[in-house]
Amino acid sequence: MRARPVGLHVPVHGDGRAFARLARAFGARILRRDLTELSDLDDLFAPSGPIAESQRGMARAFGVDRARFLVGGASAGLKALVWALPRGTVAVPRDVHRSVVSAAAAAGHRLRVLPTRFDPRFGIPLGPTAEDVAATLAIDGSVRAVVVHHPTYHGVVGDLDALTAVCRERGVAVLVDSAHGAHFGLHPDLPEPAYRHEVDAVVMGMHKSGGALTQGALLLLRGDAVAPERLEEGLALFQSSSPSYLLMASVELAVADLVEGGPGLWARAVDVGLRARKLADRVFSPAPGQNADPTRITVLEPPGSETPSLVAEYRGGGTALYVVGPGIGAQASRRLLTHLRGIVPASPDPLPWDPAGSEPLDPRGALLAQRAWVAPERAAGRVSAGIVSLSPPCVPLALPGETWTPRALGTLTRGLSSGRVAQGLGAGGTVPVVAGS
Ligand SMILES: Cc1ncc(COP(=O)(O)O)c(C=O)c1O
């Protein structure tokens, strides 16, 4: 009889026998699968075995040239894509994710914030239109790529075909941040997925709405607007050298669900979202000509009207975001709708976001420069040395290299006094600025 193989490799927890707490918390079944690269298990950064096969299968399923597992969330894919671009300017929406900013700084790219519209009642970003992008490309020939959300955090999608056509005309790559769009296409009332449009790259957050484990994501690439070998280099640079096979396996399973899934899976969530939208005085609903994911429910919810039995994606400043998915049952659906119907709508008090674009920014210079921390009232006209954002709605007020305007500082003060949370501030609410700016 052949002896059972003995695992003499990392991780040393094996099936957890020697780590009782871990085994109790997760169970031997999970721990046995918690593996990383071994000779028979392939190499995420030079795949030739099962990982290569799986990635080829996913590329075929999505109709793209390459698919890559991501084990550091959508952030890892966005960083690798931006890193891989030829040195130049990357145009981004106001609500750009910090991963794009950090990779632009690492690669020495400039950033240009695209004019970005905001909903006048809910204060959430609606994204730049194709016309906004065309206007920016017409004045800045150094733009190499446009990063676009499909959808935004709040579920809003723009006209990706029109935007892509504008970029194609000028040879500019379209990189789609679809961190929140892994479920698109699974129901007639959900938007079309980004990979069905002629874009150059899509990063899908499989873990957020696709059913994979947290941090499991997927990168899809078409053509060579993003150089494949630079991309591989970026993926290795920005991800762990011990990729989790639990995460990768969960992405593979989620993709199988996505490819085989029928409209039934999302039917209840979509129905709840569409019913919620009818409460138009308190629930965000796209204007005619706009489109949005019904399963993202943005609500004007005055403080005091929240209920502890519903855990929102976020709450603050008189707004809340509820995310519904295939797991929502009939009872939870009723509870959510009853709650929304019971809200006494307050008059909206959206933050005054600046919809204008920016001059080209040098995020690398600003992040590496000597910095000073100053009170917001002394920051006007000075160059930001970091990312300062407000949540909700989770939007950067200032990017590294961007000059603080009185308007942005006013939005910061107002946001804080209305119970929102700022990220990127220092002690005593100071903001980071480039020393001497
Ligand atoms: C719009 C957007 N893009 C990218 C990301 C990064 O995704 P991940 O958390 O998978 O790294 C997020 C995270 O929430 C996001 O909201």
Residue to mutate, 82, 178, 180, ligand 1, most ligand atoms under 8 Å from C-beta: 180
**For ligand 1, atom 14, which residue shows the shortest CA distance?**
179
Q: Is 55 touching ligand 1 by the criterion CB < 6 Å?
A: no
Tokens for 154, please give them: 């709040």
Centre of ligand 1 to C-alpha 99, Å, is 8
Give me the tens of pLDDT residue by residue for the chain, a chain 437 residues long.
678 788 889 999 988 888 999 999 999 999 999 999 888 899 999 999 999 999 999 999 999 999 999 999 999 999 999 999 999 999 999 999 999 999 999 999 999 999 999 999 999 999 999 999 999 999 999 999 999 999 999 999 999 999 999 999 999 999 999 999 999 999 999 999 999 999 999 999 999 999 999 999 999 999 999 999 999 999 999 999 999 999 999 999 999 999 887 779 999 999 999 999 999 999 999 998 889 999 999 999 998 888 889 999 999 889 999 999 999 999 999 999 999 999 998 788 889 999 999 999 999 999 999 999 999 999 999 999 999 999 999 999 999 999 999 999 999 999 999 989 999 999 999 999 999 99
Centre of ligand 1 to C-alpha 32, Å, is 29
Centre of ligand 1 to C-alpha 100, Å, is 10
Are 250 and 213 in contact by the 8 Å Cβ rule? The answer is yes
**For ligand 1, atom 7, which residue shows the shortest CA distance?**
74
Q: Of the candidates 222, 132, 129, which has an alpha carbon nearest to the alpha carbon of residue 175?
A: 222
Q: Of the candidates 193, 204, 200, which has an alpha carbon nearest to the alpha carbon of residue 174?
A: 200
Q: Give the residue extent of every domain in the chain.
A: 37-260, 264-342, 363-434
Centre of ligand 1 to C-alpha 248, Å, is 18
For residues 344-380, one letter each, b for 16 or more C-beta atoms within 10 angstroms of the residue's C-beta and e for the rest, the string is: eeeeeebbebbeebbebbbbbbbbebebbbbebeebe
User: Where are the extended beta strands (E) located within 171-285?
Assistant: 173-178, 201-204, 217-221
Q: Of the candidates 390, 348, 393, 344, which has an alpha carbon nearest to the alpha carbon of residue 155?
A: 393
Are 325 and 93 in contact by the 8 Å Cβ rule? The answer is no
Residue to mutate, 98, 124, 177, 314, ligand 1, most ligand atoms under 8 Å from C-beta: 177
pLDDT of residue 207: 98
Return the percent helix, strand and coil in the chain, to nearest 5: 35, 20, 45
Q: Is 217 touching ligand 1 by the criterion CB < 6 Å?
A: yes
Q: Is beta strand 173-178 parallel, antiparallel or unpaired with respect to 143-149?
A: parallel
Q: Of the candidates 53, 32, 51, which has an alpha carbon nearest to the alpha carbon of residue 41?
A: 51
User: Quick one: CATH architecture of 264-342?
Assistant: Alpha-Beta Complex (3.90)
Centre of ligand 1 to C-alpha 344, Å, is 32
Tokens for 33, please give them: 């699968």
Distance CA 175, CA 356 (A): 21
CATH number of 363-434: 3.90.105.10
Q: Is 166 touching ligand 1 by the criterion CB < 6 Å?
A: no
Instruction: Annotate 332-396 with three-state secondary structure.
Output: HHHHHHHHHHHCCCCCCCCCCCCCCCCCCECHHHHHHCCEEEECHHHCCCCEECCCEEEECCCEE
Centre of ligand 1 to C-alpha 21, Å, is 31
Number of neighbours of residue 151 by Cβ within 10 angstroms: 24
Sheet of strand 143-149, all strands in order from the earlier edge strand to the far edge: 66-70, 217-221, 201-204, 173-178, 143-149, 89-92, 110-113
Distance CA 353, CA 222 (A): 34
Which ligand 1 atom is nearest residue 394's CA?
16
Centre of ligand 1 to C-alpha 393, Å, is 14
Q: Is 74 touching ligand 1 by the criterion CB < 6 Å?
A: yes
User: Long-range contact list for 2-9, CB < 8 A, 24+ apart?
Assistant: 9/38
Centre of ligand 1 to C-alpha 30, Å, is 26
User: Quick one: CATH architecture of 37-260?
Assistant: 3-Layer(aba) Sandwich (3.40)
**For ligand 1, atom 12, which residue shows the shortest CA distance?**
179
